[in-house]
Amino acid sequence: MNLQKIKEIWAAILARWEAFYAWIFGLATRPSDSPESKRMLFLTYSWITVLLFLTGFILAGKNPLKLLVPFTLYDLPNIDPRKEAVIFESDGEGQVYPVKRRVLLTGEDFRHDALTLIGETGESNYFDPSVPNSTAQFRNLKKLPNLQDSVISIWKRGDLLILDFRKSTLENLLSEIKFRIDYTYASQLTEEQKSAEIGRKKLLLLSSAFLAVEKTLFENFPEIKRIEYRLGGETSDLNGLTYSLSGSHSR
């Protein structure tokens, strides 16, 4: 590229700059009530609006068309439909402790709510940070067998609640419970004694599960005064279970 060509390009740039400067100077010195000034003011505000629109779209990470629909720029917070309930958990040794949690209860379907509460006692132990707890936070709570799947029927007759359980399912729950003997004297026990100790702890854990269910249902259904159990429609007990399934449990 020779010097003459460079001069021509530079002259063209200067000419365009002078024309742009003259245009800007004319706008600045033009009367504010002139049509051209009003037109430029309108264009300026229009471009500012477009830039704000695009900036909001980029920052929100939303489709630009959604920004034109009211209340869609930012997601509204989800309403938690769960209700605060008291669930009893256990240390596996026959002692139960109340724990406050948020549970999805309808308040209309008694059977659904009762099954939900029964299942909640068998969930892994946790403390809902949105619900204050104090009495059980420093206890060594165990995961209880979930009795929800073994429920056949639920009857409510006035202040009496009858829970019918499937015996075979309860026996399967017992067989699935895993225990390990960690006692210092475990080495002194025979295999038969170890097996008997594990069986005792399994039955005690299942008894604790029934006790936790009883206390939970009494706590959340004030109208219930008594709870009775059935195994396959019959009044009977499980062998070795310290919790009585054949008797009536009062509040």
Which residues of the chain are under the pLDDT cut of 70? 1, 27-28, 30-32, 37, 60-76, 126-139, 179-187
- What is the three-class DSSP state of 99? strand
CB 165 within 8 A of CB 150: yes
- What is the three-class DSSP state of 128? coil
Position 139, amino acid = R
What is the distance between the alpha carbons of residues 215 and 175, in angstroms, rounded to a whole number?
25
Tokens 């003011």 found at:
41
Do you know the residue count of the chain?
251
- What strands, in cross-sheet order, belong to the sheet with 249-250? 151-157, 160-165, 226-231, 249-250
- 139-182 pLDDT per residue, tens: 678 888 899 989 999 999 999 999 999 999 998 888 887 766 66
Q: What is the pLDDT of residue 187?
A: 67
Q: What is the pLDDT of residue 214?
A: 95
CB 180 within 8 A of CB 50: no
Q: What is the pLDDT of residue 70?
A: 64
Q: What is the pLDDT of residue 131?
A: 58
pTM of the full predicted structure?
Answer: 0.66
Return the structure tokens found at 240: 């070795």
